[in-house]
Structure 1
Amino acid sequence: MSDNTSGTTAAIEEGAKKSSILWLTLDRPRLAWHAWHDGAVYLVSGGEEQELPGLDALDRVRVTLRSKDNGARLVEFEAAVAPVDQAAAADVVAVLAKERLNARDSEHLPERWARDSQVWRLTPER
């Protein structure tokens, strides 16, 4: 891996860990909350969660991470989009549930997500 790629990977991880929101380029730039886990961005859409129209039709998406302090763009990158089998990824669901603020039913998030929502993995392309 080149130093430039290493630097970009480190910037992605640092930016994703420091801020719980990011921007996705879909039909227009869309703000989304997320969690960083195991080298990827995870997010939930559908049901009572954030609407991310068109994400389900994409193989890749453009992601922008901004500074939590001043909103400046930290890094932009392409990410591979993949649905997550929630039954097989309890660790991911637990990380997301911990990061989900202001949920009306926080103790029942995994059940509601399994029924009504989709969890997504966005893997930065290196």
Structure 2
Amino acid sequence: MSDNIAAIQEGAKKSGILWLTLDRPRLAWHAWHDGAIYLVTGGAEQQLPGLDALDRVHVTLRSKDNGARLVEFEAAVSVVDQAAAADAVAVLAKERLNAPDSEHLTERWSRDSTVLRLTPDR
């Protein structure tokens, strides 16, 4: 594993938030699973306008302890088929804090939201 990918993995696992460069810098919560970052947008979830239409996005991971920048990188963006990636969606659902409907969270996501995979450049 390259040093950059190792830093991305470590940073993404240690902190549940990241910054995306969209129309402006946007804070987003996420989960790391199987070599990629997963996040959800739309519906009653975080709003990340235009992310689902991008091929690539700039990502910044910061330290959970002091907010210092750990690593910045480009990532490929892809929409996730939630039924086909049930394991990744389950990991993402575990990271969703304070959901008002945690028992039906993934059903709501499949109906109202988009799950995205951000794959860091290798």
With normalisation by structure 2, the TM-score equals: 0.98
Aligned-pair CA distance for 1:57? 1.7
Instruction: Quote the residue 2:107 is aligned against.
Output: 111
Instruction: Quote the residue 2:49 is aligned against.
Output: 53
Alignment of 1:30-69 (within 5 A): 30-69=26-65
Matched letter for residue 47 of structure 2: E
Matched letter for residue 6 of structure 2: A
CA distance in 2, matches of 1:96, 1:119: 9
Q: Percent same amino acid among aligned pairs?
A: 84
Per-residue deviation, residues 48-82 of structure 1 (Å, max 9, x unmatched): 00000110221000000000000000000000000
Per-residue deviation, residues 87-113 of structure 1 (Å, max 9, x unmatched): 111101110111100000001001000
What 5-or-longer segments of structure 2 have no aligned partner? none
With normalisation by structure 1, the TM-score equals: 0.95
Matched letter for residue 27 of structure 2: L
Matched letter for residue 67 of structure 1: S
Matched letter for residue 109 of structure 1: L
- Counterpart of 1:23 (choices 14, 19, 22) is 19
CA distance in 2, matches of 1:15, 1:56: 23
CA RMSD of aligned residues (A): 0.8
Question: Helix, strand or coil: the match of 1:75?
Answer: strand
Please tell me whether Structure 1 or Structure 2 has the larger radius of gyration of its CA atoms: 1
What 5-or-longer segments of structure 1 have no aligned partner? none
Bigger proportion of residues as helix = 1
Matched letter for residue 78 of structure 2: A
Which runs of at least 4 in structure 1 moved beyond 4 Å after TM superposition?
none
